[in-house]
Amino acid sequence: MYRARDLASDTTRPSPTRGRIPRLITRVVLLLLVVPLALIVAFRFVPVPITPLMLIRLVQGYPLQHQWVAYQDISPALPHALVAAEDNRFCEEMSGFDVAALRGQVDAWEDGKRPRGASTITMQTAKNLLLWPGRDPIRKLIEAWLTPQIALLWPKRRVLEVYLNIVEFGPGIYGAEAASRGFFHKPAAELSPREAAQLVSVLPRPLVWVAAPPSPYVRLRAGVIERRIEQIRPLLACTE
């Protein structure tokens, strides 16, 4: 009888692993929440040494050309061209999202049209800084989570400074300084408006399009960007 009672009591004891799994999940979730936030806070003040995309490209066999420069050492023509090409309302966005553009994409989807995307400069900064390339839903969801944190913790000029120092301008070429020296043989501070527009023109496909010598498409796109800068100049106040 004693042995039977002993065995019965053993079966009612909770398994040691039963409590460990929830604790492990909690720790992983906290880690995933805290680490990106800590990096966002740190990179508000310190240069970004490397990004996930740079590591991916190294594994793929591309070189790594990257030289951080301060925002004041980048020609004003480059952030002007970036805002004109990628996100006209950048200076007005409080959350890092272009709400009007997002609403337009939802309307297009409801009408059966293919959404063209509404990615802002802040969203692209979150992706380039902490995430991997691609359009999978998980990455987009994490990007949407990180974007308002960057928008809240960083001033607009810091968003532009980080973006222009880490974005991929060509195979193995990251940031304004490396791109300027690689394509135009001059520092980023000396970029002309046309050269800045050519650099920004390749951003959708930097592994395919080349800033210099420009293809007919890049040349045409650069001209459109230059004209748009003049049209939206009142919206460029935060880039100064």
Could you give the CA distance from residue 86 to residue 159 in angstroms, rounded to a whole number?
Answer: 14
Question: What global pTM score does this model have?
Answer: 0.85
230 within domain boundaries: yes
Q: What is the pLDDT of residues 21-65, one digit of tens each?
A: 676 666 666 676 789 999 999 999 999 999 999 999 999 999 999
In order, the DSSP letters of 181-231 are: HHHHSS-GGG--HHHHHHHHHTTTSTTT--TTTTPHHHHHHHHHHHHHHHH
**Beta strands 168-170 and 65-66: pairing type?**
unpaired
111 within domain boundaries: yes
7 within domain boundaries: no
What number of other Cβ atoms are within 10 A of residue 51's Cβ? 22
66 within domain boundaries: yes
User: Looking at residue 117, which CATH number applies to its domain?
Assistant: 1.10.3810.10
Domain count along the chain = 1
Q: What is the pLDDT of residues 118-138, one digit of tens each?
A: 799 999 999 999 999 888 899
Give the per-residue pLDDT at 169. 98
What is the span of the domain harbouring residue 133? 18-89+96-239
- What residues pair up with 66 in beta bridges, in sequence order? 174
65 within domain boundaries: yes
